[in-house]
Amino acid sequence: MPLSDAIAYHRRSAMERLPTWAICIPLTIQWLWLALRYRSATLPSVANPAITAGGLVGEGKLEYFQSMGAIARAATAIHCAINTSIRYTFTDLHLLMAESNLTFPVIAKPDLGLCGYGVRLIANIHELDDYLSAFPTGEVIVLQEYLAEDGEAGIFYARHPDEAQGRIIGLTLRHYPHVIGDGVHTVEQLIQSNRRAKRLLLARKHECNYAMDHVPAPAQVIRLATIGSTRVGGLYRDGAQHITPALTAAIDAIARDMPDFYFGRFDVRFDTTQNLSDNIQFKIMEINGAGSEAIQAWDPETPLLAAFAIIFAKQRELFAIGAANRAKGHRPISVRQLAALHFRQRKLIREYPPSN
């Protein structure tokens, strides 16, 4: 019998129990084997030729948005860009938001981001000004409408350049870190008694914005973070049962409305899984390219070997798409260029304001 989400929230997946090196070693071995087979260690960098390094590393979130046609834009959350080289007054910020039809609260995130680092829910102009002041100079911030829908999913898409139609190769439901009140214990006590929620207290570059001494009512759900990454106690659940022809057609139409986009994950918000499956309503928060993780492998119900099989399959698909695009004349970047993008991204993450 499948675990309920409430029970699964108290369990760690097989992948979460492993140290990072134990995951990286087998994946690196397959990567090297694929590099020999296809005669390129950076072939995935042309999986999406219009995006920096194919979205493997170092690309900006706005790269995906700026290339969108009308179909894809209509399905994407309202957003605007802020350059931290410019010192904005409160009036400037209000005008910028008004021009994009944005109102508080909003989500602020780094254009060049990873795993939710630097992502904050911003309630007012003063919080936005503080966020900008703490951000590295000369970088770009994405300001985006706050999507209040309860559901979030990562929809993994792939299309071989010679295929007539793309496929959804994975769908993951993301649950935010939370505690459930019992009318007796404080938020802090509830967190301390929950192994997954306790990650919040240990998470690097994360700020906990909740009243630790508050006693939630019985059955009251207290969401503890804006982001749903496992690094702060989020839970990933395999949602493959919600993949339908209607949803596949919708995601394929969006992907085809972006130049040379063949592989990546659409992170979306929705109200009910039924509406998601029926393609009635969802909004894209962001898109990740070749570097997207097959996050359904982190479901607590997924056995270790099955989890590795999912990730191995993703790598093989990535190289195959890269090879097809190379045959069309696209040239992979060098290992040196890839390393430079990686180290720049890691450096910036250390400088970003904490997420919340």
Start and end residues for every CATH 3.30.1490.20 domain found in the chain: 78-146
Q: Is the separation of the CB atoms in 249 and 135 below 8 Å?
A: no
Is 1's pLDDT higher than 50? no
Per-residue pLDDT, averaged over 24-28, amounts to 95
pTM of the model: 0.93
Per-residue pLDDT tens for 111-156?
999 889 999 999 999 999 999 999 999 999 999 999 988 899 999 9
CA distance 310 to 170: 9
Both tokens assigned to 234:
């989020």
Per-residue pLDDT tens for 220-233?
999 999 998 998 99
Is 345's pLDDT higher than 90? yes
The highest-level CATH class for domain 78-146 is: alpha beta
Per the DSSP assignment, residues forming a β-bridge with 270 are 151
pLDDT tier, 88 (very low <50, low <70, confident <90, very high otherwise): very high
pLDDT at 210: 82
CA distance 145 to 123: 11
Q: Is the separation of the CB atoms in 271 and 279 below 8 Å?
A: no
Per-residue pLDDT tens for 316-328?
999 999 999 999 9
User: Which three-class secondary structure state does DSSP give residue 121?
Assistant: strand
**CB atoms closer than 10 angstroms to residue 173:** 22
